[in-house]
């Protein structure tokens, strides 16, 4: 009887093992989810913070205020003229940069009529402005970047017979376009205050004062960022 019970136990264990094996063969783990390959990072050119710039522009002057020995003038005007300039700058962040520029406006005719004598006076004036400028690049250093800025410095105004150094200030806005690694095309507008100018006295003629000189400038140029 004992051998019979032992045989039943052995048979039950074998049957249970067989059933477990069958169930294990039927059961399959779900397949592992597909692994999406991570695309390689796009290499973004890195530039140092420094850049050089060169610009050419056309200056449209507002009518100045002219006086001579206390006599006011009317019909004052300054002809439009070409400007050339350049400078160097630094990126403080992706959106903030600053530069120092020197721009020369070539000789332009200055005319006005003396309200007392009716005499039409004409002279020439050229101007060189040195400005420290700060800009905000909207959106950072993208392929097309709008910007605006302001500058302050001094202007050296020359009438041929006399020179005058005065405060200069500017406000500007424009767009920069990335052309190639580190090379950008810059196109913009600048409103410029150049202070005053004057001529030297000549014989019986007193000095002529040319005050409140303002210019609207359309400028285009290039900036090169060192890499």
Q: What is the pTM of this model?
A: 0.76
Instruction: Express each pLDDT in 20-37 by its tens digit.
Output: 454 445 445 556 666 666
User: Between vectors from CA 195 to CA 220 and to CA 70, what angle results, nearest 5°?
Assistant: 140
Distance between CA atoms of residues 210 and 112, nearest Å:
10
CATH of domain 50-225: 2.40.160.20
pLDDT at 34: 67
Distance between CA atoms of residues 152 and 192, nearest Å:
10
pLDDT at 142: 75
Q: Which of 53, 89, 42, 83 is nearest to 183 (CA)?
A: 53
Tokens for 155?
């202007």
Give the mean model confidence (pLDDT) for residues 176-202: 94
Name the pLDDT band for 39 (thresholds 50, 70, 90): low
pLDDT at 175: 96
Instruction: Express each pLDDT in 57-74 by its tens digit.
Output: 999 999 999 999 889 999
Domain ranges for the chain, please list them: 50-225
Instruction: Express each pLDDT in 107-149 by its tens digit.
Output: 999 999 999 999 999 999 999 999 999 999 998 777 899 999 9
36 phi/psi in degrees, rounded to 5: -80, 120
The rounded mean pLDDT for the chain is 86
């Amino acid at each position: 009887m004992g051998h019979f019970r032992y045989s039943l136990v052995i048979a039950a264990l074998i049957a249970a093992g067989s059933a477990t094996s069958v169930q294990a063969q039927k059961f399959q783990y779900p397949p592992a989810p597909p692994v999406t390959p991570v695309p390689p990072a796009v290499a973004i050119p890195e530039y140092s913070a420094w850049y050089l710039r060169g610009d050419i522009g056309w200056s449209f002057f507002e009518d100045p205020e002219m006086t001579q020995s206390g006599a006011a003038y009317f019909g004052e005007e300054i002809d439009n003229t070409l400007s050339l300039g350049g400078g160097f700058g630094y990126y403080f962040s992706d959106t903030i940069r600053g530069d120092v520029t020197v721009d020369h406006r070539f000789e332009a005719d200055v005319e006005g009529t003396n309200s007392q004598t009716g005499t039409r006076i004409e002279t020439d004036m050229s101007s060189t402005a040195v400005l420290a400028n700060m800009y905000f690049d909207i959106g950072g250093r993208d392929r097309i970047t709008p910007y605006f800025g302001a500058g302050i410095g001094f202007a050296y105004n020359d009438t041929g017979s006399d020179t005058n150094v005065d405060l200069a200030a500017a406000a500007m806005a424009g767009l920069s376009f990335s052309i190639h690694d580190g090379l950008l095309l810059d196109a913009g507008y600048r409103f410029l205050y150049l202070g005053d100018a004057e001529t030297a006295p000549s014989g019986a003629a007193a000095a002529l004062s040319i005050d409140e000189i303002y210019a609207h400038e359309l400028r285009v140029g290039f900036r090169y960022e060192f890499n």
